[in-house]
Amino acid sequence: MKLEIKPLTPALAAGFFDFFDNRAFTDRDGAFCYCTWFHCVCSVEEHYQPGRDAMRECAGNYIKNGVLNGYLVYDGNIAAGWCNTDKKENYPRLMNDPFLCAGNTEKTKAVVCFEIAPEYRGKGIAAALLARICDDAKAQGYDFVESYPASHQKYDPFDYAGPARLYEKLGFVKASEQNQSLVMRKELR
């Protein structure tokens, strides 16, 4: 397996949609967000109500307009994983949540979602993605990389941010905790 990590661009939209249409969430029912959740502030019901085709079209517009950013992991020509990451201020859902926003004014790159195809899990892909995100964020002048995993340690297929131990392995520390939500942060300076 030769993996390649590529930043999402409009030219890679077909790979993004192939991943979400054919490999992402294949072990869970009803998941078709196309990673648009953090780009809006509506309720869960309002977000999913328009249906799969509308969500797909929304994601296509976001990619075309530079709103949806992140990295795809390819195994040859097949997209095997995805991570949604961008400047923290570009996620309205984060900025409207007092706990997640926490008044941070530093230049922070947020990691909001991982999805690895089931047959590729447990192979270090999420860790490789996170390491690449940190390296690129540092080169781009960010001061911090931050994510928002759940605090429990057992596997949950809906932990879209990944487990806290993933972040700990890569030098992130717990910046804050509320109920079962964490803010994990890594300083890049």
Name the domain count of the chain.
1
Residues 6 or more apart from 114 whose CB is under 8 A from it? 81, 82, 83, 126, 129, 160, 161, 162
What would the two tokens of residue 53 be? 């085709």
Domain boundaries, position 137: 3-187
**pLDDT tens per residue across span 18-68:** 999 999 888 776 567 899 989 988 777 787 777 888 889 999 999 999 999
Provide the residue type at 102 as one letter: A
Beta strands in the chain (DSSP E): 3-7, 70-75, 78-87, 108-116, 144-147, 173-178, 181-187
In this model, does residue 158 exceed pLDDT 70? Answer: no
- CATH no. for residue 33? 3.40.630.30
Half-sphere exposure of 88 (CA within 13 A, CB side): 24
- Answer for the pair 72, 82: CB distance below 8 angstroms, yes or no: yes
Q: Is the pLDDT of residue 159 over 80?
A: no
